[in-house]
Every structure is written in C-alpha cells, then in structure tokens.
Structure 1
C-alpha cells in the first residue's frame, strides 16, 4: 500500500518513500530511502514534495511506503 507524495503534511523525517531523482525524471525510475529533510515549503506540489534522503539523494516523492 502506498500513498502519493504531493501533500507536505503526509511526509515527515523517518518515513520510507520512493522518490524520482532529477537524473531519472525522463525514465521515471524511483529510488527508495528514508526521509532526512523536507525541502519543499509549500503545503502541496503537483510533481511531489522534494526531500533529501538519509543517503543524501534529493528528489520528489512519488509514493510513501506503508508498513515494513
């Protein structure tokens, strides 16, 4: 089960998410990781909230991973 990442209120540090990196926008390939920082200030964004993962990767959230 996953939810989309367009609402800033749904995203918080420590969540596991799938993001699309800038270099992968053309293909839509996602990268899974744990949110470290939320970089988008607006309450929502049509392309997904921009976050930094604990690995240092930055991208827009495509989905929030629920459960283990």
Structure 2
C-alpha cells in the first residue's frame, strides 16, 4: 500500500519513508510512525510523518 492517503496511516504503523535528502536516490528508511505531520487527507508525494527515531519523511510504503 502506498502512503498517499492519510486515512491509511496510523500512529504505530510500520512504514518506509523517503527523507528530503534521499529524494533523488529514492533510498527508503524503515520505521514506526510517531506523528503524522500532513494535515490534508491525501498528498501526491506521500503523507509526511515523524518516525519514533526522530526522522521525518514522506511515506512511500505501508508495511503493516
């Protein structure tokens, strides 16, 4: 599942994000969602979240 819809992402979900500095390479970082930062119901580049380790990025894939 991709991370374009806010309703699909829950706090505590395991996701893969792309950080701002990794957007060109497309390198994904895995982690647990701590906070959802995007307020709109959907976003074409992925919903922005903060992971439990403090990293911020846009969700590209929802693992569970």
| TM-score category (smaller protein) | over 0.9
* Length-normalised TM-score, structure 2: 0.98
Aligned equivalent of 1:53, options 51, 54, 59? 51
Q: Deviations over 1:39-60 (max 9, x none)?
A: 0000000000000000000000
Moved over 2 A (4+): none
Q: Which runs of 5+ in 2 are unaligned?
A: none
After TM superposition, the score normalised by the length of structure 1 is: 0.92
d(CA) in 2 for partners of 1:9, 1:62: 14
Per-residue deviation, 1:29 = 0.3
| Separation of aligned partners in 2, 1:13 and 1:21 | 18
Number of aligned residue pairs: give it. Answer: 64
Unaligned runs of 5+ in 1: none
1:11-50 mapped onto 2 (5 Å cutoff): 11-50=9-48
